[in-house]
Structure 1
């Protein structure tokens, strides 16, 4: 069944009826501990203001969709994010509707931060990973120095650094 994509025309003036359910808005208002009682008129005004805000942000998102290289009729998340980024009066939504970042960029930033915290260079520059087949058919990544990733982890977890450096059980000389 095809989607119904016919646009709903916004109202030009307030008619006394709202499109959002007034009872649901009243329930949301009642959840706030700071508000004891809310009159019907106040709930109606909040509902109308919410409808106008939704209409405004949808229009701004649609404008961003039209400005795209390949204009679209449907609004996507990136259009709303761009509207929040470029419109000053929508700046308060910056935390709610953040600009999307590709996963590969986040992964690269995390690797750089991890390398910075460990004090070494990034994993891409000092060691290369190769995959070697195992007996069970799965592949294990091995580093360029011949150790598997799991071997390095087991070695660092199983022994203390002092005992590893000492070799045959001698004490390690600490100089300062």
Structure 2
């Protein structure tokens, strides 16, 4: 018994039901960590939008099938991939539905990539002088680390010199108060000794009395 591949046209009347299983759509939504809660109305609207998007994707894929020399009645994976590659509003699915390639094409592509890797320079520059973003960022990071390390060592040396100067200055300041104390003590000794009055001679006193 042949498979019945007669297309079923979607109903244009609003019936309030969807063809996709609503319970499964709710489970898929619940697996999203960014969605804390989803109401039944929101899940229904998402299901309707998904159904409409699938209809549009299948319609564009069927247009690709009709454009071939030998049109077919069924849609294959390559038809969907060609529709994603050709239709502008389906280009965001290029990573989800990539074009298929044979094992021979895959091996040739891998061989070209392996041959291009040894030709690249050690510093991340290619054959034509083109560089990669990772190599430039890595070089800048190493230069920044070297500069930061040198500045850190210089700052440590400066701090050590300042500490030595502070120690020397502290010793000099400690010696200066001792000298000041010695001078103060000598000054106090001198002031404590009162000067003795000069002694007058007897002849001078007699001459002054006669005058």
Using the size of structure 1 for normalisation, the TM-score is 0.62
Contact 2:5 2:73 in 1 (8 A): no
CA deviation after TM superposition for structure 1 residue 53, in Å: 0.5
Partner of 1:149: none
CA distance in 2, matches of 1:112, 1:37: 49
CA distance in 2, matches of 1:24, 1:50: 13
**Counterpart secondary structure, 1:13:** coil
Contact 2:78 2:99 in 1 (8 A): yes
Change (3 A) 1:110 1:11: same
CA distance in 1, matches of 2:92, 2:113: 29
Partner of 1:161: none
CA distance in 2, matches of 1:3, 1:111: 43
Partner of 1:23: 23
Partner of 1:134: none
Contact 2:18 2:48 in 1 (8 A): yes
Q: Which has the higher strand share?
A: 1
Using the size of structure 2 for normalisation, the TM-score is 0.53
Consecutive unaligned residues of structure 2, counting only runs of 5 or more, are 120-211
Is 1:70 the counterpart of 2:67 in the alignment?
no
CA distance in 2, matches of 1:21, 1:106: 38
Partner of 1:98: 98
CA deviation after TM superposition for structure 1 residue 118, in Å: 5.5
Q: Which has the higher helix share?
A: 2
Partner of 2:201: none
Partner of 1:33: 33
CA deviation after TM superposition for structure 1 residue 7, in Å: 1.6
Aligned-residue CA RMSD (Å)? 1.6
**Counterpart secondary structure, 2:59:** helix
CA distance in 2, matches of 1:46, 1:35: 13
Change (3 A) 1:30 1:117: closer
Is 1:47 the counterpart of 2:76 in the alignment?
no
- Where does 1:1-176 land on structure 2 (aligned, <5 Å)? 1-117=1-117
